[in-house]
Amino acid sequence: VVLDKQVKFNEHAQALIQKVSFGIHVIIKTRPYFSTEILLSLHYAFIYSRLSYCVSSWGSTYWSHVNHLERLQNQALRLITFKPCSSPSALLFSNINI
């Protein structure tokens, strides 16, 4: 967890966005070669583990950071399940049990 001088989580949120984006990149590159189960394992390794670590401590950050991270996770789940961008994210979470 990264804090700045004003005890804000902006730097941490930006670092987390970069790490989650890298996880999405890994999923995009490996998607043609792996099954959904393996892609889901990559999601847990590269994305979910980062999002769930110390989530209660940085929960008071700006809504824009949380929204950006949520959109990235939705993108990853759509890639894993081979669903179009227009598919509802609530169904993705329930189908994968996240």
Residue 20 domain-assigned? Answer: yes
Which among 91, 95, 46 is positioned nearest to 72, based on CA atoms? 46
Residue 3 domain-assigned? Answer: no
| The pLDDT value given to residue 3 | 55
Task: Give 1-21 pLDDT, tens digit per residue.
Answer: 555 566 567 777 888 899 999
25 or 2, higher pLDDT: 25
- Specify the number of domains making up the chain: 1
Is the pLDDT reported for residue 74 higher than 90? yes
| The pLDDT value given to residue 46 | 95
- With beta carbons less than 8 A apart as the criterion, state whether 50 and 69 touch: no
| The pLDDT value given to residue 57 | 65
Residue 2 domain-assigned? Answer: no
| The pLDDT value given to residue 34 | 96
Residue 1 domain-assigned? Answer: no
7 or 44, higher pLDDT: 44
Residue 39 domain-assigned? Answer: yes
Which among 68, 69, 71 is positioned nearest to 51, based on CA atoms? 69
Does this model's pTM top 0.95?
Answer: no
Domain coverage including residue 54: 10-96
Residue 65 domain-assigned? Answer: yes
